Amino acid sequence: MQNLDVSKTVDAWSSLADTVFVPHTEAEYQKLVTLLDRLIDEVGENESHPLASLMEIVGVLIEKYEDESVPELPIE
């Protein structure tokens, strides 16, 4: 297992914290959706792209928000 250099992680995270986060409001959710759209445009289906895992993480964050905050449509 890799050793985690916390000080390097803090430095790296500080530059990303305003971009990648757990959304708690509609505005934050929309910000992540916009980011995901841009990542999809850049990464496409290239699973070896350096941003592919970031795209997946942002997708999971969006899905979590939708599961918790968007009401399901009734089945008729």
User: By C-alpha distance, which of 7, 41, 12 is closest to 20?
Assistant: 12
**Burial category of 52 from C-beta neighbours within 10 Å (exposed 0-12, middle 13-18, buried 19 and up):** middle
Structure confidence at residue 2 (pLDDT): 64
pTM for the predicted model, two decimal places: 0.83
**The dihedral of CA 21, 22, 24, 30: what is its sign?**
positive
Structure confidence at residue 7 (pLDDT): 85
Domain locations along the chain = 20-69
pLDDT in tens, 1-59: 467 788 888 888 999 999 999 999 999 999 999 999 999 999 999 999 999 999 999 99
CA distances from 59 to 1, 27, 34 (A): 26, 16, 11
